[in-house]
């Protein structure tokens, strides 16, 4: 069994929800997982306790959370020595026309941190209109106008996450980790004696 950390930063909770789904999918393959908000990690926090790490961040005003960027930069060498993956959550990832923009955010993150994860996933986020004040609600409706249909513009929260894509990403990362570490789903659940 491998120990996999899913460390994430979240602005409105969708990245946390995706991190938990990734943790569930990987744990169903027999691995031990731990999803941790970068803001809530215990001190001291040692990456050496894990066999693999996934880092997730959401995009707000064109950037990932500073705490995620700082964590990756500070731990770049350790991350480079283990199986790793990065996933990003943004409204741009939900729009076919803005995929290039979303990819640009990932490229900027990689350039700024100097970290080159083994796998990268990009997922659509969510709009939590019920949690926004009047001005933010208007601003977010304008930003996401191309993504929202007429019903969504007038009714509650909207989720753009493709959960099948999240599951496929998690399964791909788990298979990569298993290959790198020389374990299989069967051997993690029933080790040979």
pLDDT digits (tens, 9 = 90+) for 74-113: 999 999 999 999 999 987 777 777 778 889 999 999 999 9
User: Residue 114: what pLDDT?
Assistant: 96
Band the pLDDT of 140: cuts 50, 70, 90: low
> Looking at the chain, which residues constitute the CATH 3.40.50.360 domain(s)?
3-125+160-189
Q: What is the dihedral of CA 88, 71, 8, 113, to 10 degrees?
A: 10
Is it the case that residue 188 has pLDDT exceeding 50? no
More confident residue, 107 or 183: 107
CATH of 3-125+160-189 given 1.10.579.10, 3.40.50.150, 3.40.50.360, 1.10.3720.10:
3.40.50.360
Residues 91/76, Cβ–Cβ less than 8 Å:
no
Taking each continuous run of H as one helix and of E as one strand, the counts in the chain are: 8, 7
pLDDT digits (tens, 9 = 90+) for 141-165: 666 666 665 444 445 677 889 999 9
pLDDT digits (tens, 9 = 90+) for 3-14: 999 999 998 889
């Amino acid at each position: 069994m491998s120990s996999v950390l899913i460390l994430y930063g979240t602005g409105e909770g969708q990245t946390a929800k995706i991190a938990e789904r990734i943790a569930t999918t990987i744990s169903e393959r027999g691995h031990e997982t731990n999803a941790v908000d970068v803001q809530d990690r215990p001190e001291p926090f040692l990456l050496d306790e894990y066999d693999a790490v996934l880092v997730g961040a959401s995009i707000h005003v064109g950037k990932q959370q500073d705490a995620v960027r700082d964590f990756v930069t500070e731990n770049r060498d350790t991350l480079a020595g283990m199986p790793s993956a990065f996933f990003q959550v943004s409204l741009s990832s939900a729009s076919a026309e803005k995929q290039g923009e979303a990819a640009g955010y990932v490229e900027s993150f990689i350039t700024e941190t100097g970290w080159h994860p083994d796998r990268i996933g990009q997922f659509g986020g969510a709009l939590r209109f019920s949690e926004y004040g009047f001005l933010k609600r208007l601003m977010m409706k304008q930003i996401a106008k191309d993504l929202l249909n007429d019903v969504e513009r007038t009714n509650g929260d909207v989720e753009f996450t493709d959960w099948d894509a999240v599951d496929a990403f998690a399964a791909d990362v788990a298979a990569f980790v298993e290959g790198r570490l020389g374990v299989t789903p069967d051997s993690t659940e029933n080790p040979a004696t």
